Structure 1
């Protein structure tokens, strides 16, 4: 799934949290958006393995949620939302396509690495690939209702995220050709540092 879809899912987690902590809505929105995107910071360093923890984020999020109940406040609530959004991201990647440059070809059986299980989880392909039409629909379907729980700033961020999602979807299937051309200009000694899917 697209990073924007994960961000919108994180915003949805934040919107649910505002039912219990409405006074902390701005910080919860920021935590949900950040937590939804955070695992993808490993994009160029062991993508879907280095910062993706589908089980451990869920366990940490449960503990943080309990802490937020026992010691209510903006920081405990934000921590719970951040970790829940990150858990949703990592688990959600298993519902998408595999870890390959052209995931619509369905050649990879690696969706996300579970450190708890010590193995890669297979892609379910409910969302065939990042930037697919269903990915855009999911981003909008989750993001628009979630944004209604917040003020105009969050709604503008949501609108921008959805505009980026649509633009990315339009060019998504052309990107592998562009990447392969650009890789051709990378000096040979540096190619080993590129993600495997870019050079194979």
Structure 2
């Protein structure tokens, strides 16, 4: 899935909590954005293996959420949001295709690595590849409730992310032809 889909999903996931405790909307949103992006820092390493934890991530996120409930503070709430949305990112990558640049030509059966079982999870291809039309529709659908619940800088992030989502989805299949060989 696209980075914007992950960010909008993370924001949508914490939105109900922000409705209940609006004084923590900012830390929740910041944590959600950081957590939603963080797993993809492994693009320069072994993508979808080094920083993606689709199973173990929930084991980390659950106690952090409990800590945020018991010791509610800006830091604990933000940290719980980071952990939960990083797990959500990794887990949702299994719903997509593999990490290859051109999944319509060179399909792999590796979606995301499960460190607990020591094996790759097969792609479900509900979203065939990042930037696929269904990915754009999902991203835009997730952005809508975020715009209703959050305001301020979060609205700006979504306002910038929506056109990026649309343009990327429109150009996605052409991007591999424009990518230099050394990046593949």
**Structure 1 residues 145 and 106: CA distance shift in structure 2, 3 A:** farther
Q: Displacement, 1:131?
A: 0.3
Counterpart residue number, 2:160:
160
Q: Displacement, 1:106?
A: 6.2
1:15-164 equivalences under 5 Å are: 15-105=15-105, 107-164=107-164
SS at match of 2:126: coil
Equivalenced residue count is 184
Matched residues in 2 for 1:158 and 1:28: separation?
A: 15
1:67-88: CA deviation from partner (whole Å, max 9, x where unpaired): 0111111111111111110111
Matched residues in 1 for 2:15 and 2:120: separation?
A: 31
SS at match of 2:63: helix
Q: Displacement, 1:2?
A: 0.3
* Contact 1:60-1:83 within 8 A present in 2 as well: yes
Q: Displacement, 1:59?
A: 1.0
Matched residues in 2 for 1:162 and 1:103: separation?
A: 24
Q: Displacement, 1:109?
A: 0.1
Matched residues in 2 for 1:74 and 1:83: separation?
A: 14
Q: Which has the larger radius of gyration?
A: 1
Cα root mean square deviation, aligned: 1.3
Please, which runs of 5 or more residues in structure 1 have no aligned partner? 187-193
* Contact 2:19-2:149 within 8 A present in 1 as well: no
1:142-169: CA deviation from partner (whole Å, max 9, x where unpaired): 1221232111321121021111111111
* Contact 1:10-1:88 within 8 A present in 2 as well: yes
After the TM superposition, which of the residue ranges 151-160 and 88-97 deviates more from structure 2?
A: 151-160
Q: Displacement, 1:103?
A: 1.4
Counterpart residue number, 1:177:
177
Matched residues in 1 for 2:147 and 2:85: separation?
A: 15
Give runs of ≥4 in structure 1 deviating > 6 Å.
none
Give me the TM-score of the superposition, normalised by structure 2. 0.95
Please, which runs of 5 or more residues in structure 2 have no aligned partner? none
After the TM superposition, which of the residue ranges 22-31 and 121-130 deviates more from structure 2?
A: 22-31
